[in-house]
Amino acid sequence: MNVRELAQFLHGSPRRIHLIGVAGSGMSGIAALLLALGHRVSGSDKVDTAEVKRLQSLGLDFRTPHRASDADDAEMIIYSSAIRAGNPAFDAARAAGKPLVRRAEALSGLMAGKKGILVCGMHGKTTVSAMTAHVFRAAGTHPSHYVGAEIPILGTNARWDAGGEFFIAEGDESDGTIVQYHPEHSIVLNIEPEHLDHYPDLAAIDAAFTQLLRQTAGKIIYCSDDEGARRVCAAFPDAVSYGKTGHYALRDFRAADFGSVFAVFRGGEELARVTLNVPGEHNAINACAALALAAELGLDLSVCAKALETFRGARRRFETLFASPDFLVVDDYGHHPTEIAAVLRAARDTGRARVLLLFQPHRYTRTQALQEEFGRALALADAAVVTDVYPASEEPIRGVSGQLLVDAAARHGAKDVYYQAARDEAGRCAGQLLRPGDLLVTLGAGNIHEQGTALASDLRILEMLREAMGDGVARLYEPMAKHTTMRVGGPAQFWLEPETEHGFCELVRVAHGEGIPLMVVGRGSNLIVRDGGLRGAVVRLRRGVFGEFAVEGDCIRAGVGVRLKALSGAAVTAGLAGFEWMEGIPGDVGGCLRMNAGAMGVEAFDQVERLRYADHEGNILEKTPRELEVHYRNVPLLRANYALSAVFRGERADPAEVDRRTKEYSAKRKASQPAGASAGCIFRNPEGGKAGQLVDSAGLKNHHVGAARVSDRHANFIVNEGGASATDVLALVEEVRAAVLARHGVRLENEVQVIGEDRPAA
């Protein structure tokens, strides 16, 4: 069917029409228009969405998954650009000889029933078509519209208004179907190399736009700031320009309060003063396009300009996901270098200290063809994380990945730009980079917004926990490898370091009340955290009161964040014996208490006089060892409660003698234990034997998995030689356990604590 025949079919008596791929944003809009025109509409897709449910309430007959029988009784089948041969409904309709119509062809037929206004170009179509529909509605023209995203202020992405003469729609140029349209008026935003998977070169793109403009009956509104738009549009007799220069000129632009104020002039005459509540000069220029067409058609510009003040933009167009005094997270659909640069400039206008970018490239062909342009755009961010390519419908191209763009950004001067292939890893990397005062933008046409949503959710929880805690440190996705002596471990979802007992107790109360898992860690000297990290709040008590200690007669009161080495040193200075065994143990008081740590025949609770702790409801209590159940490497009370401080008793002695014995203990430790990164003894000594001797006699010294190696000095130690993962360490632990069991019939049990989640398989 040609456009005239399509228009007669779609604007005639009700028909039976089936849409393949109806859940997509473009196809769902077509379905809404057809239902409004009275057609009997069915649709199929592989997924269900909220918009599909809304359309079902309006009469859509929805089927999932696609089936060959879906279109049996349909008089016409409309399909999205993502549908190919092999789709059962498509193949069955073609075999039956039914009319198969592409989405753009159907839209052109629908537009033909009114005065069509087509908004086209590589970037900004959704925003400009939404702005135009909004100001035309405010001016009382009752326009119909078709916009490629959810626009809260318009109500729906597509609407048919029988009372108006205009139909405003965005035209997709990606697959060449832009030549199907015969609009009354066209707005051309920009023309540049894009969709080179479809077009052989820029000349072919120019030719498609030129054909569209020849088919435009009325005004051609084009952006004079864009070289491509000038090149193609300027020679047409009805062409009218807008931008920072042109027939309609933007002047006096000023960024203000997450938006802007500016004036629109025609020649030397000021036509309107505008307050726009979406940020960026590019959006002010977009608004200028809508006002230029409104002026050319004789609408009341004062009404149109006032309407722009209430415009709030489309979903995924600089959409705020999270905002607080410290952090701002926004999401945008931009996926072309020009769009990235425009969004980053708009982000700068918000006045935030730094602008961070989490970017997902879209399509392998675009990534390969425009890698240098992407590199220049990415370099505009203070820091950027790039994940792997969202393929859309493309097959991978060898050597093309997000790393290509990171390398290009480095060539263009970017200092802090990182590649993380997996989206979840990229999101965590971006979260780790956040500092108070930052704005983070998630950008891409694929599914990167899911990481933005997850980040926003975690920031809300982090802010709640930080408010409860008061003074201290609060960070997202802190690598546990920085906080374990083995130097392995994935991220802690929420990392918190309170400075007061009250702050910690409030943190405990809030976490418990909200169902947020909470655990306290020390220096991680007897801990292996798996590579998937830890969910919930992970608390380190080392700041403020938790790092303080004081000598009180024959005792030392110490907070749980005091290092055992510091406690031993204080005992030497005070002339208190009994603390010598602590010298050289790479832990702190909290871990020592929790594990009832010991060495050289001494255990922690041999010296503890009083224990101060908080329960899981945030109440502070004290107990003496006589009131506690204490076992070897286990204090059950501290499995469900949190040590805050303890009083340790010593014995008065000559400081010089205490110093001598302390140095002697230290020398023995250094002589018997490896110096590298380790978690201490991996296995408990079995009854009547030594775990290290069993491992040694099984011939496992120097045995390794990756960079995790059994120490050649002490076989009950595993050393991270640099770059080992928790997976490497734990694989080595199991190999050692299996070898000792096979050789000696003894099953070794862990002394080290293993916590956290495994990293999901790629």
CA distance 19 to 4: 21
- 599-613 burial, b at 16+ Cβ within 10 Å, e below that, comes to beeebbbebbebbbb
Active site residue 170: yes
3-state DSSP call for residue 689? coil
Annotation says 500 is catalytic: no
Do 496 and 542 touch, CB atoms closer than 8 A? no
How many angstroms separate the CA atoms of 347 and 243, rounded? 20
Sheet holding 718-720, edge to edge: 704-705, 708-710, 718-720
Phi, psi of 222 (to 5 degrees): -135, 155
Is 56 in contact with 11 (CB distance < 8 Å)?
no
**Which positions ≥6 away from 301 have C-beta within 8 Å?**
264, 271, 272, 291, 294, 295
Phi, psi angles (nearest 5°) of residue 27? -70, -35
CB 730 within 8 A of CB 501: no
Instruction: Give the 3-state secondary structure of 125-186.
Output: HHHHHHHHHHHHHHCCCCCEEECCCCCHHHCCCEECCCCCCEEEEECCCCCCHHHHCCCCEE
Q: Which of 539, 595, 537, 538 is nearest to 564 (CA)?
A: 595
Query: Closest Cα to residue 279, out of 259, 250, 261, 262?
Result: 259
The one catalytic residue among 170, 281, 339, 603: 170
686 cis-preceded (ω within 30 degrees of 0): no
**Number of C-beta neighbours around residue 620 at 10 A:** 14
Rounded-to-integer distance, Cα 596 and Cα 589, Å: 10
Annotated catalytic residue, options 125, 184, 216, 499: 125
- The rounded distance, in Å, linking the Cα atoms of 387 and 66 is 31
H-only helix segments in 623-725: 637-640, 655-672, 691-697
- DSSP class of 499: S
- Please give the distance of CA 126 from its chain centroid, rounded to a whole number: 23
Report strand pairing: 100-102 vs 76-79: parallel
Amino acid at 68: A
First to last CA, the chain: 47
DSSP 194: -
Closest CA to 145 of 158, 132, 154, 155: 158
> What is the signed CA dihedral for 748, 752, 753, 757, rounded to 10 degrees?
-80
Which one-letter amino acid corresponds to residue 504?
F
Say whether 126 is catalytic.
yes
Residue 567: count of CB within 10 angstroms of its CB:
21
If we measure between CA atoms, which residue out of 425, 482, 436, 488 comes closest to residue 459?
436
| Element of type H or E holding 328 | strand 327-332
Which segments of 650-745 are extended strands (E)?
651-652, 704-705, 708-710, 718-720
Q: In terms of C-beta density within 10 A (0-12 exposed, 13-18 middle, 19 or more buried), how is residue 366 classed?
A: buried
Which residues belong to the active site?
125-126, 170
